Amino acid sequence: MSGTSVSPLAPAAFPAMLAVAGVRLATAAAGIRYSGRDDLMLAEMPPGTSVAGTFTRSLCTAAPVDWCKQALAASSGRGRAIIVNSGNANAFTGAAGYRVAEHTAEAVARALGAPAHEVLVASTGVIGEDLPTGRIDGALGGLVAGLAPAGPRAWEAAATAIGTTDTFPKGASAPVAGTSAHVAGIAKGSGMIAPDMATMLAFVFTDLAVDPPTAQECLAASVEKSFNRITVDSDTSTSDTVLLAATGTSGQSAALHMADFQAALDAVTLDLAHQIVRDGEGATKFVAVSVTGAADDAAARAIARAVADSPLVKTALAASDANWGRIVAAVGKAGQRADRDRLAIWIGDEQCADGGMPKPGYSEERATAHLLGQDVALRVDVGVGHGEATVWTCDLTHGYIDINAGYRT
């Protein structure tokens, strides 16, 4: 992960992760881009594991995304392993990039005695550089030999190995109520975050038995409420991937516990999504932007995202400047219906505007006091309907420029 200081919004510690029966993890240092740290992660699942995936809608997809889509189709949603490298995205590497992804899957498959199309591949890092397969091949033997049940230390090591500009490893888990099964996941992401059907990279596991079509339906619903509601910098990656693997090793079926399984899955994906925002490059504030009174929920999401993505709003937040006029401007550019003369805006609990004008008795001092904290809430009512949505973002500081200006050096 990044050598920069840990985000001020980071959790106090990596969480005490719950076990997921049947999952084994390992990490290794292949020296793909980084030295002195692990940059490979392998997760092994038992035969028959269901796997679902959501991926970037970028039209410039990385080769591993293409491989995963084709592998899931070929296997009818079954998977035996997930291998991830950091430091190189294997994106914009031409036909050779796909051959690298295929070669990696085949090598893992041989080592585990599994079909190649049941090995999912993900890569993250610099775009436009060839991924050195020899380094992955050289580390693969030790990686496979190191596979062990997914305990707390293994989860943390896996989350660390997949990071790039991340300043802390990201993990979350939850029990499935009424069962002995658990849901647990890890993620990476810090910049290039404005996902569409995924986030940077996230891998979620459960030992509940879930058939592939149901797993896909549940994951898509969960992603829409979590990873698709965050933004750091309005940029969508070429490599966005979320995979859900259901081992069924608990001996219990999701068919009898669907609501509880969905609730646990939603809790894990939302926790991971929030951690990504809290690790936004250069971030000093975690910001919830809530919109009500929109024409419908989709319109509310679009308005909330326009506010959350606005550089003027985000830089004002960085300075704790209660300049709510920037919120008005962002609402106006969203391309969704809004009644100017019914518009209302809150910063924290302080209402700034009402009826399309400053709220009588508005206190900029109270609004500023709220912005001085690390957790910020902005709310807008656009006065045209009943649609509502929340998008989570962070402020925009000079730290973002520092990190990205020298990302490759």
* Strand partners of residue 331: none
Measured distance CA(354)–CA(48) in Å, rounded: 57
Nearest to 143 by CA among 174, 172, 113, 108: 108
Give the angle 168-200-317 at the CA atoms, nearest 5°.
65
Q: How far is CA 60 from CA 90, 335, 351, 357, 372, in A?
A: 12, 26, 43, 44, 39
Helices (DSSP H) in 49-192: which residue ranges?
63-74, 94-112, 133-145, 152-161
Q: How far apart are the first and last CA of the chain?
A: 15
Pick the closest to residue 241 from 115, 123, 154 (CA basis): 123
Q: Which tokens go with 338?
A: 């809004």
* Residue count of the chain: 409
What does the block give as tokens for 339? 């009644």
**DSSP codes, 195-221:** -SSS-SEEEEEE-SB--HHHHHHHHHH
Kindly state the tokens that stand for 301: 């999401």
Q: Is 284 a catalytic residue?
A: no
Sign, Cα dihedral of 268, 274, 187, 9: negative
Q: Which of 167, 199, 247, 292 is catalytic?
A: 199
Torsion sign, CA atoms 326, 192, 198, 63: positive
The two three-digit tokens of residue 35, written as one number = 């030295």
Give me the sign of the Cα torsion angle 52, 58, 63, 64: negative
Distance CA 107, CA 23 (A): 19
Distance (Å, whole) CA 202 – CA 219: 11
Give the residue among 113, 55, 43 at the shortest CA–CA distance from 81. Answer: 43
Catalytic residues: 199
